Amino acid sequence: MTTAIDRPAPSASTATTTVATRIRDWAERSPTGVALREKDYGVWKEITWAELWDTVQIAAHGLLALGVGEGDVVSIHSEDRPEWVILDIATVAIRGITTGLYPTNPANEVHYMLNDSQAKIHLAEDQEQVDKVLEFGADGFPALQQILYVEPRGVRNYDDRNLMDWEDFLDVGREHRAQHPDMLRQIMAEAQPDDIITLVYTSGTTGPPKGAMLSNANAEYCMDMVINVDGRTPGNVKPSENDLIVTYLPLCHVAERIFSTWTMASAGASLNFAESIDTVQHNLREIQPTLFFAVPRIWEKIHAGVLIRLKDSTPIKRVVAKAGLSLAQTIGRERVANGGNHTLKSRIAYAIGNPLMFRALKERIGLRRCRWAGSGAAAIAPEVLEFFMGLGVPVYELYGMTENSAIATLNFHGRVKLGTVGEPYPGIGLRLDERTGEIQTKHPGVFVGYWNKPDATAETFTEDGWLKTGDVGQWVDGTHLKIVDRIKHIIITSGGKNISPSEIENSLKTSPYIKEAMVVGDGKKYVTALIGIELDTVGDWATRRGIPY
């Protein structure tokens, strides 16, 4: 297997910092501080650091009691919730490996990933996810020994000896802890930097999904970059225990794991679980997070929602709101031209617009206290970022991928260039292939390889050990990186012209009436856009005009 970095040889005497030891340290340092919040029957329930660490220990002992050991895989198929985080950290604590599945993964993908990873324990959130496993029968998963479930409704009466309720699992853990009080501490002391802690499965668009292996060393490097690098935030205020985060994207995605669990563990920020993807906007208003990460679709939806509410308001309010948004646009353009910094003109305009409109609007969208926001995982239209910059919500576009622990580039505060994904993180290797323009990276966050796929791993690295991202990039002003497109997505027309479909698609998606856009035309004399409409906004437009739909 080709590797991208040299790792130090494991040392039994070296105390290795892990996500689990960080949680333990926060429990000792701030036992009554709030680690997690979950909404239960309409009320936000707080879980302190001491309570979180106690439950993690119990879950870790539960896994040990079920026979999970070093290098064994525990899979999690659930929406974001405390149990996801608890089992993830517990698995790391006993030197196991976590792999997460998207809640929307169908049964055949669940079957593939559990067997490919050889998962020994599987957490299925509810009846729907349990059924995806049980439909393959007793012989469908040779390595699987136990299926845990959180929501008992519809499952409790199932007659399957491999099923275990979450609370029963914790009872098993309590009993094991009472019998072996020092076992977990001893195991944690043996952790090594090169221990694999998670498998993050790729989308599998060009073949079966591959499990990218990330180690303790990868996670620690990532946390150091995300938390400690200077210039990320206004005033260079680093993430801390005073920060609030809302988690809503699937935790099996590397970006959400980094921004949620790993940021919580390293900085001590409080993690707040959205009730569902449909309630994110409402939960944002309740929590008013100080740090927020979103994919472009979320930012586009918030932007479109503001425009639609403007049209639904009274004539007088529409006039005021239109003037306010025009002012925000002016501020945004001024700041964009100045690297994201305020000019005298934009400061004066903001001082007028903030008390009159911007503050209330930020309160409405749930970002009044947000001092840093990120956008990643896909390209975003510059117009959307300009809009939020004008409102006083700093949204910084960044770039990374699972295989490099999402550490590649970032638009740093005061050095923003819209239309780019920013500058390389300090100290990392990032280059463009001279022939193809492919972006290649090299740093301690680069993954160990693909689980049980040495050939695929070797293909992902160059001969001199650089990670091939599969993305085509170009330098802007010699400092900032612009993503052109995926190599495999570039359209070559019949006339030989190379076209980047993502640029056209992103421009189209700035419309509040367009949800998705796909540009096709490889080998043709022309290109065509396939449009998916935004039903809410198009429906509102049709209703206003008396058009049935």
Which pTM was predicted?
0.85
| Predicted local distance difference test score (pLDDT) of residue 35 | 97
The predicted pLDDT at position 205 comes to 58
Please check whether residue 453 lies inside any domain of the structure.
no
Task: Supply the CATH number for residue 175's domain.
Answer: 3.40.50.980
104 inside domain? yes
Q: Are residues 272 and 152 in the same domain?
A: no
Contacts of 311 (CB under 8 A, 6+ apart): 318, 540, 544
Q: How far apart are CA 545 and CA 292, in angstroms?
A: 37
CB count within 10 Å of CB 103 equals 17
Considering the domain architecture, whether residues 259 and 367 belong to the same structural domain is answered as yes
Q: Specify the pLDDT at position 172.
A: 97
Instruction: Evaluate whether residue 210 is within a structural domain.
Output: no
For 49, 54, 71, 196, the CA distances from 186, given in Å and listed in that order, are 21, 16, 16, 18
Q: What is the pLDDT of residue 206?
A: 63
Q: Given this model, what pLDDT does residue 484 score?
A: 84
455 assigned to some structural domain: no
| 476 and 506 fall within a common domain | no
Same domain for 315 and 223: yes
Tell me if 126 is assigned to some domain.
yes
pLDDT for 500? 62
Q: How far, in Å, CA of 58 to CA of 175, rounded? A: 9
Do 227 and 186 share a domain, yes or no? no
Q: Are residues 475 and 505 in the same domain?
A: no
Measured over the CA atoms of residue 21, residue 22, residue 25 and residue 26, the dihedral's sign is negative
* pLDDT for the residue 377: 82
In a domain, residue 198? The reply is no
pLDDT of 525 reads: 64
How many structural domains comprise the chain? 3
- Same domain, yes or no: 331 and 479: yes
Give a yes or no: residue 462 inside a domain: no
Q: State the Cα angle at 411 between 344 and 529, rounded to 5°.
A: 105
Q: Which domain holds residue 37?
A: 17-191
Q: Tell me what pLDDT residue 491 has.
A: 67
Q: Which of 434, 454, 484 is the last residue of a domain?
A: 484
Q: What is the pLDDT of residue 146?
A: 96
Neighbour tally for 296: CB within 10 Å? 19
Same structural domain, 181 and 288: no
* 148 and 247 both lie in a single domain: no
Q: Tell which of 191, 206, 226 closes a domain.
A: 191
Are 250 and 330 in the same domain?
Answer: yes
- Statement to judge: residues 104 and 186 lie in one domain: yes
C-alpha dihedral sign at 224, 225, 229, 231: negative
Domain match, 151 and 185 both = yes
Count of H-run helices and E-run strands, the chain: 19, 25
Task: Determine the pLDDT at residue 249.
Answer: 92
Q: What is the CATH number of the domain that holds 499?
A: 3.30.300
Say if 9 falls within a structural domain.
no
Q: List per-residue pLDDT tens for the chain, 549 residues long.
A: 223 333 333 333 347 899 999 999 999 999 999 999 999 888 999 999 999 999 999 999 999 999 999 999 999 999 999 999 999 999 999 999 999 999 999 999 999 999 999 999 999 999 999 999 999 987 899 999 999 999 999 888 898 889 999 999 999 999 999 999 999 999 999 999 999 999 999 875 567 889 999 999 999 999 999 999 988 888 888 999 999 999 999 999 999 999 999 999 999 999 999 998 889 989 999 999 999 999 888 888 888 888 777 776 677 777 877 888 888 888 988 898 888 888 999 899 889 888 888 888 899 999 999 999 999 888 788 888 888 988 999 899 999 999 999 999 999 998 999 889 999 999 999 999 988 889 999 999 999 999 999 999 999 999 999 999 988 899 999 999 998 876 666 666 545 555 667 667 767 776 778 878 878 776 566 678 888 888 777 877 777 778 887
Please identify, among 144, 175, 191, the residue that sits at the C-terminal boundary of a domain.
191
CATH number of the domain to which 473 belongs: 3.40.50.12780
pLDDT at 486: 67
> Residue 480 CB: number of other CB atoms within 10 A?
21
Q: What is the pLDDT of residue 384?
A: 87
Model pLDDT, residue 524: 62
